[in-house]
Amino acid sequence: LKFNSSECEMSSKSSTLQGASAAGAAAVLLGTPLAASAFISSGSPSRSPALRAQKKAEASQQTEAQSAGTGPCAAMAFGAMALAARNAARQPMRRSAAVISAKTARASMKSWVGPSAAKGVAAEAFSTVSMQSAAVAAPPTKAVSYEVGEKLHGWTCVRSEYIKEFSCSGYLFQHDKTGAELMSMVQPADENKTFSVVFRTPPENSNGIAHVLEHSVLCGSRKYPLKEPFVELMKSSLQTFLNAMTFPDRTCYPVASCNLKDFYNLIDVYLDAVFHPRAVSDPKVLAQEGWHYEVESKDAPLSFKGVVFNEMKGVYSDPDSAHGRLANQSLFPDNQYGVDSGGDPKVIPSLTFDYFKDFHSKYYHPSNAKFWFYGDDPADGRLELLDKFLSEFSKIEVDSSIAIQPLFKEAKKVQGEFAVGEEEDISNKTMVSVNWIVSEGKEDLQTSLAMQFLNYLIMGTPASPLYKALVDSGLGSRVIGGGLDDSMLQSTFSVGLKDLKPEDAPKVEELVTQVLTELADKGFENDAIKAAINTIEFQNRELNTGSFPKGLALLFAANSNWNYGKDPFEPLSFDGPLLDLKSRLEKGESVFEDLIRKKLLQNSHKVIVETNPSKDLEKRIADEEKAVLEAHRKTLDGADIENLMKETALLKEIQEKPDSPEAMQTVPRLELSDIAKETPTIPTEVKGSAPKALVHALPTSGVVYMDIAFDVSRTPVELLPLLPLFTSALRQLGTAKGDFVNLTRRIGMSTGGISASTVCNNKRGDPSPRAYLILRGKAMSGQVPELVDLAQEIVLTVNLDNKERIVQLANQLKSGAQGALISSGHIVAARQLGAQTTEAGWLNAQWSGMKQYDYLSKLLAEIEGGGWDDVHKRLQTLQACIFNQAACSVVNLTADAENLGAAEAAMETFTSTLPADETSQPVLLKPALGRRAEGIIVPTQVNYVGKGGNVYQSGYEYHGSAQVISKLLGATYLWDKVRVSGGAYGGFCAFDPRSGDFKYLSYRDPNLGKTLEAYDGASTFLKELELGEDELTKAIIGCMGDVDAYMLPDAKGYQAMIRYLLEEDDEYRQKVRDEILSTSMEDFKKFASVLSDVADTGGISVVGSKEACEEAKDEFGLELTTPFAA
Closest to 993 measured CA to CA, from 37, 35, 32: 32
Q: At what angle do helices 1066-1077 and 961-969 cross, to 10 degrees?
A: 50
Q: Are 192 and 131 contacting, i.e. CB atoms less than 8 angstroms apart?
A: yes
Q: What is the CA radius of gyration of the chain?
A: 27
CA distance 854 to 1120: 15
Q: Are 903 and 687 contacting, i.e. CB atoms less than 8 angstroms apart?
A: no
Burial state string for 645-667 with b = 16 or more CB within 10 A and e = fewer than 16: bebbeebbebbeeebeeebbebb
CA distance 762 to 1010: 32
Q: Where are the beta strands (DSSP E) in 913-1036?
A: 933-937, 944-950, 986-991, 997-1003
CA dihedral 796, 797, 802, 807 (to 10 degrees): -30
CA distance 825 to 835: 15
CA distance 256 to 240: 5
- 3-class DSSP state of 160: strand
Closest to 981 measured CA to CA, from 1016, 948, 1011: 1011
Helices and strands: H and E segment counts in the chain = 40, 31
Q: At what angle do helices 849-862 and 825-834 cross, to 10 degrees?
A: 90
Number of CB atoms found within 10 A of residue 271's CB: 22
Closest to 406 measured CA to CA, from 477, 468, 335: 335
Q: At what angle do helices 526-542 and 79-89 cross, to 10 degrees?
A: 80
Closest to 941 measured CA to CA, from 622, 630, 627, 628: 622
Residues annotated catalytic, as ranges: 214, 289
Closest to 990 measured CA to CA, from 1013, 974, 1010, 1006: 974
864 secondary structure, DSSP code: I
CA distance 1058 to 1067: 16
The H or E element containing residue 195 is strand 193-200
1116 secondary structure, DSSP code: H
CA distance 822 to 825: 6
Q: Does residue 668 have a cis bond before it (omega within 30 degrees)?
A: no
Tell me the DSSP string of 394-440: ---------PPPPPPSS-EEEEEEEE--TTB--TT-EEEEEEEE--S
201 secondary structure, DSSP code: -
- Residue 608 backbone dihedrals phi, psi, to 5 degrees: -100, 120
Tell me the DSSP string of 1047-1101: --HHHHHHHHHHHHHTT--HHHHHHHHHHHHT--HHHHHHHHHHHHHHHHH-EEE
Residue type, 808: Q
CA distance 712 to 728: 16
Residues in the chain: 1126
Nearest 5°: the CA angle 1101, 1102, 1107 is 145
